[in-house]
Amino acid sequence: MALTALALELVALWFQHVMLLKPCVLCIYERCALFGVMGAGLVGAIAPKTPLRYVAIAIWLYSAWRGIQLAWEHTMIQLHPNPFMTCDFAARFPSWLPLDKWLPQVFVASGDCAERQWSFLTLEMPQWLVGIFIAYFAVAILVLIAQAFKPKKRDLFGR
């Protein structure tokens, strides 16, 4: 899971710095949700058999859910442009976590949320992200349900 989120982050940076697409504020927030999924994957990989895995699942669920919300909002702005419904000019991070100051190459927005800059198979980037975040959320639910069941102990020959 962490590797897929890392791959998506690297693709986003490729789009920004190589293809010169301008990320909007919602793009930046969607990146943050992806970083949350990646962080949850790392915590789960580091401590899979400890109670910390429940923290990782909670972060995973929250990040995926927020990602769905953000990508859906972004999709609606692109599909139904409205001069009264726009996104902010700059991302608003808490004062204790100024990501745009610490890593401006990753977290500074410079684009317009309504602008369609890239599509693949007729879907825009936020539409793809809706599906990706739904997949992350569905797998997180399945992993959470699986936590209630203990695996059967078997030896090499299945006895």
Q: Yes or no: say if 114 and 38 are a contact pair by the CB < 8 Å rule.
A: no
- Cβ neighbors of 133 (< 8 A, separation 6 or more) are 33, 64, 65, 67, 68, 71
Q: Which residues are designated catalytic? A: 24, 27, 31, 87, 113
DSSP 70-113: HHHHHHHHHHS-BTTB---SS----TT--HHHH-HHHH---S-T
Q: Residue 47 CA to chain centroid, in angstroms? A: 21
